[in-house]
Amino acid sequence: MTDPTPRVALVTGGTGGIGRAVIERLVQDGFAVAVHYAGNKARADETVAAVKAQGGAAVPVGGDVADEDAMAAAFDAVEAEFGGIDVVVNTAGIMLLSPIATLDLDDLDRMHRTNIRGTFVVSQQAARRLRGGGALINFSTSVTRLQFPTYGAYAASKGAVEAMTLVLARELRGKDITVNAVAPGPTATPLFLEGKDQATIDNLSKAAPLERLGTPDDIAETVAFLAGPARWINGQILYANGGVA
Complete DSSP assignment for 48-89: HHHHHHTT--EEEEE--TT-HHHHHHHHHHHHHHHS--SEEE
Per cent of the chain over pLDDT 70 is 98
pLDDT 10s digits, 12-33: 999 999 999 999 999 999 999 9
**Residue boundaries of the structural domains of the chain:** 8-240
Per cent of the chain over pLDDT 90 is 83
pLDDT of the residue at 201: 84
Dihedral of the alpha carbons of 160, 226, 126, 69, in degrees to the nearest 10: 70
Which residue in 227, 36, 232 sits closest to 131, CA to CA? 227
pLDDT 10s digits, 46-100: 999 999 999 999 999 999 999 999 999 999 999 999 999 999 999 999 999 999 9
Confidence at 231, pLDDT banded by 50, 70, 90: very high
pTM of the model: 0.94
- Would you state the CATH architecture of domain 8-240? 3-Layer(aba) Sandwich (3.40)
Q: Which residues are catalytic?
A: 154
CA distances from 133 to 22, 164, 205 (A): 19, 20, 37
